[in-house]
Structure 1
Amino acid sequence: MAVKKKKYSDATLDDMAGYVLMQESDRGAFIVAAALLEDLLKTLLGRVVERKSNAAKAKTDFMRSAQSFHGAITSSHILDVIDQDTYADLMLIKEIRNKVAHTFSHFIVDDEIESMILKLSRFKRAKAFCASKGFTEEYLEAEAEKAKTTGEKVPSHITCVFSHIVLLMAIDLSFDTEDVVDSIKEFFTELFKPVTGGEKQ
């Protein structure tokens, strides 16, 4: 049975929305997002393994086999630490991360990456949350036009939705809800900020 974890409400996500709008390049943002989820997953897996066995060497050997992102995802799924949807989502995010990391030319969110994001199980919830905050495709396109004269970074709609998917997954992968807030804020503070001009009008 999957480990039960505390969940934050959307009201708390609202308080953190300023941390999930990209000001980093799309390439950097996808790589950092995957790194955050990988780190949280390994922490969660380590805590579960710690509870399951008293054999120190066996635990060390097991965690060594889960050092890669792929290893951590598959080990977590086999131990029923994560459900099927989370397993599939993490595999897709790993695939996106690998594609982004191995693209040497100028990177843009192309149709292939967008179609992968659309397959993520939390996509509809994240898209609805973005819309509820006013971060619609039309709004972000208008802000991007304004930003052409200021040079400020405005996220695309798909990047905004992906950011909220990552936030939802980060919360789902955390045992301690206070810890995850601190982790996400610390990890994303330099990468994320509210859309141009701060507070939306």
Structure 2
Amino acid sequence: MNKYYVLKSLVDNEDYFAEKVNISEKGIYRESLSGVSLKSKNIKIELKKGKGKVKNNIENSLGIPIISELVSNSLLETCHNEIELYEVDVNMPTNSKYYFLNILDNIDAINFKDSLFVEIIPDTKVLSEVERLILDDFKIGSRQIFRLKHFNSEIIISQDLKNSLSKLQLSEFKFIPIEEFKYKAGTLNRY
């Protein structure tokens, strides 16, 4: 059985949070959650307004994943065919380029038989609460980074990708083992 982690972003009070985001295409966040390619879109993203230290992961008012060139290079080495990167203009002093991370092809890899969950609407397999999340290795295959088809709010990574990102020694990421992950919609899930 392979080991998987939910990738969480840690933001301190002193860290830059992009309060205002200009984006050229409406609905990008929703489309990115569904795992579709955005290559046909004219994506231009500008992060404005805010103060604090710009780190390798920028939280923002739209909730889209924004990562530094350092992180994107690590992802490109490990899972280049599973992601798309779109350059982001950050209106803050920084020494790095930043990218919007789009994760491609959500997968139907939840083992519903062994997981403990609550559905938003019965028999939809769209989850509002997760007590225990069990994944199906066979359906994941060789994927290193992915979102789940019926639970796309979280980014899940493999042990190999976790190892690669851990080598960067960044304090802004936390890796929650899938067997320890809990979720309840509408509440702040702290780790």
TM-score w.r.t. length of structure 1: 0.29
Structure number with bigger Rg? 1
Structure holding more strand per residue: 2
- TM-score scaled by length of structure 2: 0.30
Q: Which has the higher helix share?
A: 1
